[in-house]
A and B are shown apart, each in its own frame.
Chain A
Amino acid sequence: GENVEQHPSTLSVQEGDSAVIKCTYSDSASNYFPWYKQELGKRPQLIIDIRSNVGEKKDQRIAVTLNKTAKHFSLHITETQPEDSAVYFCAASKKGGSTLGRLYFGRGTQLTVWP
């Protein structure tokens, strides 16, 4: 099955700085890569995703990049704010074949943004 590795496990940045979280995956057939944000005491929520036919996607202050050759993808948050503090999970899945579309999650990154 798929194996998703996520680094770092914790990340502290000053407000206004950028934050980068990196993930690698093992199954070259994976073709969908979402990112989830989980604030303290709340449910994980999808914040951005990227498909394998795209190398980069941006939505305001967050962006995701994908390198299919190297099998890694990253989340970039610019101009960080205290409300960006949360646990971020990356995930990977593939569509089609014998595997019904199950997401494989990374272990999460606790991002803390200091004011």
Chain B
Amino acid sequence: ETGVTQTPRHLVMGMTNKKSLKCEQHLGHNAMYWYKQSAKKPLELMFVYNFKEQTENNSVPSRFSPECPNSSHLFLHLHTLQPEDSALYLCASSQALDTERGYTFGSGTRLTVV
């Protein structure tokens, strides 16, 4: 493990389900990110949180709802998803004021919407 843990690793859900993805880091970082990665596509930034505050929402549909209760935890609540939302969802963390240490990524949640 890298210090960034994502659960679950795999998730299959129906279009009417509600589920949540969880990300947890114990690196002392204060910035956390959600990325979507579809097959053969680039990393798509979804949300950015700095010091628990959302600082960026990259035009993400409202069926994705992030939550950051503290600097160590980040959630992505999913509701009424579409099949095209199937993808690998990656969480990352960093020092908000010092990205010269780069990002640390979690292993991702492979989401399949049926």
Beyond A101-B94, A102-B56, A105-B42, whether A45 also contacts B100 by CB under 8 A is: no
Chain A: minimal CB distance from B49 (Å): 10
Q: Chain A residue with minimal CB distance to B43? A: A105
B106 beta carbon closer than 8 Å to chain A: yes
Chain A contacts with B in 46-70, Cβ cutoff 8 A? 46, 49, 51
Of residues 70 through 112 on chain A, the ones whose CB sits less than 8 Å from some CB of chain B are 89, 93, 95, 100-103, 105-108, 110
Could you tell me the dominant secondary structure of chain B's interface residues? loop
Chain B, 40-67, CB within 8 A of any chain A CB: 40, 42-43, 45, 48, 50, 55-56
Contacts A43-B2, A44-B90, A44-B105; is A102 near B98 (CB within 8 Å)? Answer: no
Assess whether B100 is in contact with A51, with CB atoms less than 8 Å apart. Answer: yes
- Complex: how many Å from CA A43 to CA B42? 13
Instruction: Name 20 extra pairs, CB < 8 A, besides A32-B99, A105-B42.
Output: A34-B103, A42-B107, A43-B2, A43-B106, A44-B90, A46-B103, A89-B42, A89-B43, A93-B99, A95-B99, A100-B50, A101-B94, A101-B99, A101-B100, A102-B99, A103-B94, A105-B43, A105-B45, A108-B43, A110-B40
Closest 4 A-B residue pairs measured CB to CB?
A101-B99, A107-B42, A43-B105, A46-B102
A-B contact pairs, 14 of them (CB 8 A): A34-B102, A36-B105, A43-B90, A44-B105, A46-B103, A95-B97, A95-B100, A100-B96, A101-B95, A101-B99, A102-B56, A103-B99, A105-B45, A106-B42
